[in-house]
Amino acid sequence: MSETTRADGRSANQIRPLRFQNHIAPYAAGSTLIEWGKTRVICGVTIEENVPRWMKEQGVTGGWITAEYSMLPYSTLSRKPRDISKGKLDGRSSEIQRLIGRSIRAAVDLEKFGNRTICVDCDVLQADGGTRTAAITGAFVALSLAVNKLMAEKKLAISPILAGVAAVSVGIVAGKPLLDLCYAEDVAAAVDMNLVMNSAGEFIELQGSGEEATFTDTQLADLLTLGKSGIRDLLAAQQLAISQG
């Protein structure tokens, strides 16, 4: 698989260049700009000292994490109207922000947050494939920076983070299994899959479908192997970004 060379010069099992620019949003408790190939997403975390009403009504203890996702109008080749102009959130954005929320909640012990709501906002500046995986991967860095800030301010005694969380895309393009699809590869993929995993090597979510074809057990195994290797690279990059503050 590693012998396959792609249009951008990468091998089949190689992720696109990855960079985190932390503290991109000074008023957020934690924030980062994740630049992943040509995809760029700002991930910011803000903290509210209360919990949703449904938690109080149902007697649910601990904190909560919620997420919002949006693509800015100029993030794609043709202008993407804001959801507010249509009067409702589009189905894709709704699906992705629920995925981000589930993924980040899986990274933490909500009880240890206390009665707080952690708001994760992911805004796509430029889209070239993998915006949801970039949002999840960047959101964990932003969350970690926010937790570090809470601990430095003595608002948390111990970290609620249980494990790192990252996400990556894989797919079959022209019969070849590839890691981390750019937009051109994504639209050409016969099989498309997103993996969300934690640093314990456990799956949080798998989203996969045959866009134009079915796929075999062997192809699925190849895609999972590629995805796991990509997740390991992403987790290492995340930890480096977090350690740099």
Tell me what pLDDT residue 3 has: 54
pLDDT digits (tens, 9 = 90+) for 145-165: 999 999 999 999 999 999 999
Please give the Cα distance from 136 to 228 (Å, whole number).
16
Tokens representing 83 are 């959801």
The helix/strand/coil state of 186 is helix
Least confident of 73-87, 131-145, 170-184, 222-236: 73-87
pLDDT digits (tens, 9 = 90+) for 26-50: 999 999 999 999 999 999 999 999 9
The helix/strand/coil state of 51 is coil
Q: Which CATH architecture has domain 18-243?
A: 2-Layer Sandwich (3.30)
Helix residue ranges per DSSP H, 32-177: 53-58, 83-86, 91-105, 131-152
Give me the residue spans of the domains in the chain.
18-243
- pTM beyond 0.85: the answer is yes
Q: What are the φ and ψ backbone dihedral angles of 170, each rounded to 5 degrees?
A: -140, 165
Tell me what pLDDT residue 91 has: 85
